[in-house]
Each structure stands twice: as structure tokens, then as C-alpha cells.
Amino acid sequence: MGNRPTCEELEQKVEQLEKEVQDRKGVEEALKDYVAYQSVLAVLRGVGPEQTEEVLLQTFLSEIVKQYGFCMSWYGLYSSGEIRPILSAGRVDRYLDNLVLEIREPTSPDAQCAVSQAILKAAPFTYADLERDEGFRQWRDYALELGYRSNLALPLEVDGQVEGGMMVYADTLNAFPEERIQRLQLLAWEIGAILRGRRMRQRAEEALQRSRDELEIRVEERTGELSRSNALLKQEIAERKHAEEALRESEERLKSANRDLQAANRELEEAVERANQMAVEAEASRIELNQIFQTAADGMRVMDKDFNVLRINETFASISGRSEAEAVGKKCYEVFPCPMCQSPQCQLSRILGGDERVECEVEQERSDGTKVLCRVTATRFLAPDGDLIGIVENFRDITERKQMEQERLHREKLQGVIEMAGAVCHELNQPMQAVSGYSELLMADIPEDNPVNRDIDEIRAQILRMGEITKKLTRITRYETRDYIEGRKIIDIHKASGEGK
């Protein structure tokens, strides 16, 4: 019969169970956070373009309170060194009454507010403990009375300009871990992108309307000129009819000429109308193509055969960290270099060498020296007559996707190791208990001075060692490996269970 577990073993088991419960709670919280993020994102993208910007912002505030279970949220407009709340959701009470934050001086008390810091630094800012954080001192009493315990501020940027800030309050301490802050920041960026797209579309529609108005004026002027010309012609015909009434033959010729003139006039009007329509269609196509180019989700760069940058879109400027003014006219390897620049593997060199299309994944260098992994697609840029002008490059930032793939692969490997370790422990425990029990029975039947006892002691020692190994297997929390024979890798149980550095 096996020994009963000691108090220390029981305490270790309890600690292990508590850790498993905490791990499971962490996974559940992360899943709830992800579902809340996706729900808010879906609602934001469902707000139609006919709705106002105020409706879009109010929807965001209401949804994050609803989906994340926050106490309250509000949006403040930043202008002339002041922040004024204009929208809110949740448990507000009189917290925002007459609130105006003066932040012209970065060291002023108002500038210590979380939303002031977020706007001044153009980055998220959080107070994890409103009761203790000194920067929140002047708003503390009423906030604690309303049940606020921690907060987070997010700047709202549109076209690189901070227009305001969004505040979120929670009823628990440390309610904004880094992963949650990142997702909420993604939502703030989504709002900025939606607002930018709306405004760009509005500007394009206004420009198109101006073009239509100008065209209508020109058509009216031309129609007036043609009407006056027709009136003069009719008057002249009438005068000639009266003057040459006796000359039938001349009159017939005059009528024939008049019919020919009218036909020519109709042809002229039709030609003018066709030309005007073609001009309208050409302008509309130009505006539409420019809008598509500038709002494309991927970065785009157009170059000539001499490696000169001819044009970039806004997404490329964002990825490379260089504005259009800084990029156009420069050499491509000066604007957004990569290891393949000025080598036979260069995309332009390969296109000039006869390739129709080049695709690759390459690490590009931004203006600030940081690296970004892009999937680059280069195609031929041809003139209307078919001559090669240069290339059009498409840059897709896949840095985050690659990181997510690596994280997912690591999680899958860790899950497989944990499941296998659990199965091994389950299958080994019963045989080990049997061997341990039989060894004790043998020792009871054999005299102490019998040399066989040393072998039985060695068996029991090895059983205890196997027990320690199975305990380590149950404590595996990381995916760690070590070198094995023939260049293979095996799981490092000591490090994976947290006992090794």
C-alpha cells in the first residue's frame, strides 16, 4: 500500500491547482477582451457614411462601455491649447460639468490629466490606481465617489494631426494591461482612418461638383452662342427670301444651302456635346483613380528606369516614414532601402532584365532606422504606346502578421507538449505505484543483511526520480528545447517547468 502524501506535497498540489485556475482565468479574460474588440470594430464599420462624425464617435464611446464593461467614457475636442468634453457614455453624473483642461503649459495641473498626456505625447496614457496616482490628485475625490478606480486615455489622430482624446474609466485597479491598451489603440486608429476616408471622399465630391458647375456654365454659354448664330442665319434667310422672291431657282438653291447649314450645325452641336462628355468622363476617371491610389490599403511607389521616385501614396508615406515631398525626385534606395538595393536582385533591375512581375518578402528600412517586413510586388509601368517607363511597386506591411504566426506556432507547440506531458504522467503513475509497492513487499520478506536489499533500494530511488520527473512534466508552462543526438531537438523539461534559467 502506497504512502499517504505529505503536507508539503498537498500544498504543492494546491498551488499547482491554483496556478492552473489563474491561467485559465487569464485565457478566459483574454478571449473576452478579443471578443469585445471584434464586437466594437464590427459596430464601427457598420456606421454608414451618411452618419455624422459625432454619431461615429458616440457609437465608439457607447460600445466600449457596453462590450468591455467600463464605467464611463468621454471624448474631448482639442483646440487652441484647450480640451473640452463634447461626447460621453456610461456613468457620467456631473463629472464633466464645466470641465475645460488648459494644457498650453505642459507642467500645469491640467496637463497631468491622462487625456492631456495622451494628446501632448500622441500616445496612450493610463493611471492604474486613481486613489494613489499623484497626477490624478485634483479629480480624485469625485472620481472615487463615482466608483472609478483606473483610467486610460487614447489620442485621436486624423491625417497625422491629434484632434482630441478619448477617456475610458474602469471600476477596478490596473484594468488596462498592455494587450488591452494595444487593442483599444487599434480601435482609435480605426476611427481616425474612417474619418480620414470620409473627409477625402467629401473633398473629392466637392471638387467633382465644382467641375460639373463649370461645365454647365460653359455649355450654357456655348448654347447661347449657337442660338444667336441660328437666329442671325434665320434672319438672313428671311431677308433673302423677300429680296429674291421672283427668282425661283435662286430660292431653291438658298433653301438647299440652308438645309445643309442646319445639318452641319447639328453635327457641330453633337460634336461639342461628345467632346464635353468625354472631358467630364476623363476628369471623373482621373479623380477616381487618384482617390483609389491614395486610399489603397497597401503602400504604392512609381519609379522610372533611372531609379527616380515619380509618385507615392499616403500608405507608402506612412510605412516608410517619409512624406511625398521627401520621396518624390529621390532615388528609390535613398527613400526606403532594403538589402536587395543596388544588387542583381533589385526589383527594377529584374524588370529591366525581362521579368514581367517580381514578388518577394524583404525587410525595408524606415526613415527613423527601424525595420519593417514587407511583401513587395513589382510590375511593369508602361506608356500608352507600350514603351517601358519604369515599375509600380506594391508594399504590404506583414510584420504584425509574421509575429502573430510565430506566436501562434509557439502556442500550438506548447499546447502539444502540455497534452503529451499530461498523457505520459497519467500512464506512468500507476505502474510506478505498483513497482514501489512491490519493492516494499520484497524488502519486508528479505533479511536486512541480504545484498538484494541494495538493488531494491536502487529500484525505489529510481522510482522516486521518475516521480520527480512526472512532477516536472505537470509543471511545464513554456516551450523550451535543448540539443540532442544527430542535431535533433528535444524538450528541456527542467527549463520548461520553470526550474531552470
CATH at residue 447: 1.10.287
Same-domain check for residues 119 and 166? yes
Q: What pLDDT score does 23 carry?
A: 62
331, 307 in Cβ contact below 8 A? yes
Same-domain check for residues 70 and 153? yes
Q: What pLDDT score does 113 carry?
A: 93
Same-domain check for residues 309 and 385? yes
Give kind and range of the element (H or E) at residue 30.
helix 7-45
Answer whether residue 186 is part of any domain: no
In angstroms, what CA-CA distances link 221 with 214, 224, 275?
A: 11, 5, 15
Same-domain check for residues 280 and 369? no
Give kind and range of the element (H or E) at residue 150.
strand 150-158
174, 133 in Cβ contact below 8 A? no
Of 127, 159, 176, which closes a domain?
176
Does this model's pTM top 0.75? no
- Taking 70 as the pLDDT cut, the residues of the chain under it are 1-3, 18, 20-26, 243, 246, 250, 282, 414, 417, 419, 421-422, 426, 472, 475, 477, 479, 492, 494-501
Answer whether residue 336 is part of any domain: yes
Given the DSSP bridges, would you call strands 72-79 and 161-170 parallel, antiparallel or unpaired? antiparallel
Same-domain check for residues 142 and 165? yes
Same-domain check for residues 419 and 437? yes
Q: What pLDDT score does 95 carry?
A: 92
Same-domain check for residues 117 and 135? yes
Same-domain check for residues 384 and 423? no
Answer whether residue 212 is part of any domain: yes
- The set of cell numbers assigned to 111 is 496637463
| Cα–Cα distance for residue pair 445/321, rounded to 1 Å | 82
Answer whether residue 316 is part of any domain: yes
Q: What pLDDT score does 1 carry?
A: 47
CB atoms within 10 A of CB 247: 12
Full strand arrangement of the beta sheet holding 357-365? 309-312, 299-304, 388-397, 371-382, 357-365
Q: What pLDDT score does 2 carry?
A: 53
Answer whether residue 182 is part of any domain: no
Length reported for the chain = 501
In angstroms, what CA-CA distances link 222 with 214, 215, 231, 282?
A: 12, 11, 14, 20
138, 130 in Cβ contact below 8 A? no
Answer whether residue 11 is part of any domain: yes
Answer whether residue 481 is part of any domain: yes
Same-domain check for residues 261 and 278? yes
Output 185-188 pairs: Cβ under 8 A, ≥24 positions apart: 185/124, 185/154, 186/37, 187/37, 187/40, 187/41, 187/44, 187/60, 187/64, 188/154, 188/155, 188/156, 188/157
Same-domain check for residues 422 and 335? no
Same-domain check for residues 309 and 244? no
Same-domain check for residues 56 and 158? yes
Answer whether residue 181 is part of any domain: no
| Cα–Cα distance for residue pair 490/421, rounded to 1 Å | 13
Q: How many domains does the chain have?
A: 5
Q: Which residues pair with 168 in a beta bridge?
A: 73, 152
What domain range includes position 367? 297-397
DSSP labels, 318-374: HHHT--HHHHTTSBHHHHS--TTTTSTT-HHHHHHTT-SEEEEEEEEE-TTS-EEEE
